[in-house]
Amino acid sequence: MKRSHHCNELRPAQIGQDVCLAGWVHSRRDLGGLIFLDVRDREGRTQTVFDPSDLPKDVFDRASGLKTESVVLVRGKVRQRPSGTNNSKIPTGEVEVMARELEVLNLAEPLPFQIDDPEAAAKVNEELRLKYRYLDLRRPEMARNLRLRSKVATATRVFLDEQGFLEVETPILFKSTPEGAREFLVPSRVHPGQFYALPQSPQQFKQILMVAGVERYFQLARCFRDEDQRADRQLEFTQVDLEMSFIEREDIYALIEGLLKRVWKTALNMDIQTPFKRLTYFEALNRFGIDKPDTRFAMEIVDFTEEFRASSFKVFSGAVANGGVVKAINAKGLAGATQGQIETMTEYAKSFGAKGLAFIKVEGGDWKSPIVKFFNDAEKKALTEKLQIEEGDLILFAADQWLNACEILGRIRLYCADVLKGQGKLNIPADRFDFLWVVDFPLLSFDKEQNRWYSSHHPFTAPVTEDIPHLKTEPKKVRGQHYDIVVNGMELGGGSIRIHQPDVQKTIFEEILQIPPDMVQARFGYMLEAFRYGAPPHGGIALGFDRMIAMLCGTTSIRDVIAFPKTAKAADLMTESPAPVEPKQLRDLHIQLKVAQPAAAPEKPAEVKKS
Ligand code: ASP
């Protein structure tokens, strides 16, 4: 027997035909002496009927003993379903297959969790889903995510090919250049005591490809970062990585806008508007308190520095006297915030070093707040007008240095939006996507603890040309040719125009980032040398592919769009990795362990419930 149709193919047009379906037993029902098997494959499912009056006994018995998820071939004739039994929820719901033959290709044991019911499946513990990932991936919701991922990957390749890009693979075994996140090291057997590192991104190779004359490179690149796992991070993840020669920032913006237009059309059949809005880093922080603003709602930060410069409320005027600012947001309709919610917000403020959180609840025609008594009429008027204060509002303040004040209110703004969403007072349509470019980042940020400058993006980012003269004198003022693409408050990607002059690059490494010259030579010597043999001006960007797919699939977890993700504790529960290795393997790699090798796997999933 050989499959003649997939399980989402039969329609009334095939009535009377002999067909053969192959797939998994999605469900089995015994009704009025008949057995109904829903056979499912990647495409969908079809009902098959086993009638004992019409079948050899052994075929019927085999059907009646089948456990769900067994793999079968069913041959039979397509017929119209008896009237009143159509299933309008599935495309094959008007027909069924009257079975003649049944071949069982593989019997399934009782399942660790139920997969035929999306609601039940959604409640299954994620660790169990990860251990039995092959069952989890059979669920139509998960299969849809993988399919969408594949479609978007193909659309990306086609689009970039049309734009003249070459797909080039770069090494996975790279070299340690510990500038960004912690790296994974791979011991060399052939070179005792030496290591490769897995790439955090193909950054250096893609720049070298520009020196090599490739002009337009892209790759769906796997990147590795040994970071503590936050909710939506993975140790290994995929980037749409690209680099171009002889271009400026505008060329990257136009290219990525075209690519995202194609991707959104392919995945969601949606026409997104281009060009995207642009915000400078300063504006993003000043208005939204974050460098990846969610602009789907307003609640913008308003400045009151001038109004409170001479205020008798010393907390505010004192902050201004110290070179700081006074800023506020109006969380409309949140005057009823609970004590617990106010405390949460106060904790956010404190986590940025603030002493507390000043706020006003506008309730019953009154401004309820211990600080209002310090405000004069002009100050009240300014607040009312600039924040458009009305009954039911909650006003929240920050009086601090500019960056801190912005970041405090930025964090609180997002929290308030979540609370308002929960209360149904803020509704954002699920199909709304606010794309924007954030530009004009500072090239450098200062690390107070280490008392040194570090690159806001990475050390290969070019300064804005007219700012280069200030590099050594006023590094703070120098803008980088760096850009981020942001969607709905999520950083989808970032990139920059690069430094292609070896002397500028050397200055950045040695004089600004203070990396000792011998270390610069050991880590980046080959790059500086390459730039001496004819390096074209170039720039590029990388988009977080997993995050983009998660957004297109409408899920908040990137684990839902990665076939075999790791847990928050960095383990693969299905293969039980990481795992101990044989002493001989360690000897070959010239490695001696200082810890006892764990005997068992690192993590056990929750108890397996048999259904
Ligand atoms: N390699 C950079 C990153 O991973 C992106 C880029 O600058 O192209 O963030």
- For the entire predicted model, the pTM comes to 0.92
- Confidence class of residue 447 from pLDDT cuts 50, 70 and 90? confident
For residue 223, the ligand 1 atom closest to its alpha carbon is 4
Could you give the 3-state DSSP secondary structure of residue 298? coil
Most informative mutation of 165, 251, 458, 527 for ligand 1 (most atoms within 8 A of CB):
458
Beta strand 95-106 pairing with 44-50: parallel
Could you give the 3-state DSSP secondary structure of residue 509? helix
Q: Tell me what pLDDT residue 611 has.
A: 37
From the CA of 473, how far away is ligand 1's center (Å)? 27
Q: Tell me what pLDDT residue 598 has.
A: 65
List residues near ligand 1 (CB under 6 A). Answer: 201, 203, 494-496, 540-542
From the CA atom positions of the chain, what is the Rg in Å? 30
Most informative mutation of 241, 484, 538 for ligand 1 (most atoms within 8 A of CB):
241
From the CA of 494, how far away is ligand 1's center (Å)? 6
| Residue 63 near residue 99, CB atoms below 8 Å | yes
- β partners of residue 50: 35
| Residue 231 predicted with pLDDT over 80 | no
Which bin fits 193, alpha (ψ -120 to 50), beta or left (φ > 0)?
left
- The angle formed by the CA atoms of residues 219, 221 and 224, to the nearest 5 degrees, is 160
Amino acid at 229: Q
Give the integer Cα–Cα distance in Å for 116 and 585. 43
pLDDT in tens, 59-83: 999 999 999 999 999 999 999 999 9
pLDDT in tens, 472-531: 889 889 999 999 999 999 999 999 999 999 999 999 999 999 999 999 999 999 999 999
CA 466 distance to own-chain centroid = 35
Give the integer Cα–Cα distance in Å for 193 and 592. 11
In sequence order, what E strands does 391-510 have? 394-400, 435-439, 444-447, 452-455, 482-487, 490-497
| Residue 600 predicted with pLDDT over 60 | no
Q: Tell me what pLDDT residue 450 has.
A: 83
Within 13 Å and on the Cβ side, how many CA atoms surround 214? 21
Q: Tell me what pLDDT residue 111 has.
A: 93
Question: Which tokens sit at 554?
Answer: 């409408």
| Residue 91 predicted with pLDDT over 90 | yes
DSSP at 577:
B
From the CA of 432, how far away is ligand 1's center (Å)? 27
φ, ψ of residue 104 to 5 degrees: the values are -95, 115
pLDDT in tens, 559-578: 999 999 999 899 999 999 99
| Residue 434 near residue 295, CB atoms below 8 Å | yes
Cis status of the peptide bond prior to 56, with omega within 30 of 0: no
| Residue 432 near residue 365, CB atoms below 8 Å | no
| Residue 540 near residue 252, CB atoms below 8 Å | yes
| Residue 362 near residue 393, CB atoms below 8 Å | yes
| Residue 385 near residue 307, CB atoms below 8 Å | no
Could you give the 3-state DSSP secondary structure of residue 482? strand
Query: Measured between alpha carbons, how far is residue 133 from residues 149, 178, 190, 234, 513 in Å?
Result: 17, 34, 36, 16, 45
pLDDT in tens, 181-230: 899 999 999 999 999 999 999 999 999 999 999 999 999 999 999 988 77
Give the integer Cα–Cα distance in Å for 395 and 397. 7
Please, is 338 exposed, middle or buried when counting C-beta atoms within 10 Å of its C-beta (0-12, 13-18, 19+)?
exposed
Percent of the chain with pLDDT over 90: 87
How high does pLDDT run on average in the chain?
94
Minimal-distance CA residue to ligand 1 atom 8: 541
Question: Which tokens sit at 461?
Answer: 């980012």
Percent of the chain with pLDDT over 70: 97
| Residue 609 predicted with pLDDT over 50 | no
Question: Which tokens sit at 220?
Answer: 């769906």
Most informative mutation of 165, 205, 239, 291 for ligand 1 (most atoms within 8 A of CB):
239
Could you give the 3-state DSSP secondary structure of residue 302? strand
- β partners of residue 242: 218, 541
- Confidence class of residue 1 from pLDDT cuts 50, 70 and 90? confident
pLDDT in tens, 131-176: 999 999 999 899 999 999 999 999 999 999 999 999 999 999 999 9
- Confidence class of residue 118 from pLDDT cuts 50, 70 and 90? confident
From the CA of 188, how far away is ligand 1's center (Å)? 27
Could you give the 3-state DSSP secondary structure of residue 174? strand
